[in-house]
Structure 1
Amino acid sequence: MDADFNKEELFKELTRLMAQNESLKEQLQDCEQVLAMRKNKIESLEKKLAESAAYQSSLDSYLAEVQQLENNIDTLQHNIEGTKTIQSDLEKQVTDSVSVEHRLEDVQQQYTYLQTQLEDLQNQLQELNDRNLILVQQNSKIAELESLLANYESASNIEEE
């Protein structure tokens, strides 16, 4: 009678564990879907990060150009103090420098905007990495539970024989 009761308990436990295993498999599938979505999001963020780097390079180039133009203006200002022809050229350069300063302001605004975007993307990437780590840990726990279940099933099969 004890053996029948024990078999019934083992059968119930086995049934419960099998149901739990199915549930864990579904959860694993859900986790895999979430992980795939996260990978897609990471790829998207990495693409945006690469675009930001390209913008950064372009901005650096513009800043170097502006600095060169400012240096040229300084040189011209020292050379043109005495002559009207050179003074006319200097006035044109000053007008150009105002335009360049406006461009510089625009570039600086773009640079600030891109820096902010980069920081946001880096924060999002860190969040995704943190979430991914949690998913990896959960997947590891699921694998451990599946291993324990397999061991339990093997032990049950040995006892039944």
Structure 2
Amino acid sequence: MLPNEEIQVLVIENERLQIQLQELNYILAEREQEIAEFKKNKAEDTELRSLLDIHLEELQLMQNRIGKQQRQAAGAEERELELQQELTEAARFQQQYSELFQQYTYASTQLEDLQQEIAKLKKRNAMLQQIAVKIGEMESNMEIITLERDELKARVAELERLHES
């Protein structure tokens, strides 16, 4: 067997190794706790990253919806502008139509007045033609009467000449 001194040295050495083993076990336990904490943190990070990814996807969807709505709003604004221009043009056409209708009404009134004047002129012309016919007849009668008178004068002159002789 071993002498007492050697045993004591071994016991002291064993106690020192036991203390070191306890310290190493403590350190190992702390490291395992840190590893567990890291794993827990990693799991939380993964969960947070997953939530963040979901939120990013939702954000992208919202941005897409906003973009679509902005495009629709821009399209609606363009259509509203087009409609406003169409209304302005329709109002201008309505104004032109009103002006043309007034011109048409004025021209129609003038036409009626002219037609009445033409009717009066036709009536007057017919009267003048009747007068002209009567004047023609009178002139013809006058010529006949003048010829008859001249004939009568000539006969009277001849009868007077015959009577005188």
TM range (shorter): 0.3 to 0.5
Higher relative contact order (CA 8 A, sep 6+): 1
TM-score of the pair, normalised by structure 2: 0.47
Structure showing greater Rg: 2
TM-score of the pair, normalised by structure 1: 0.48
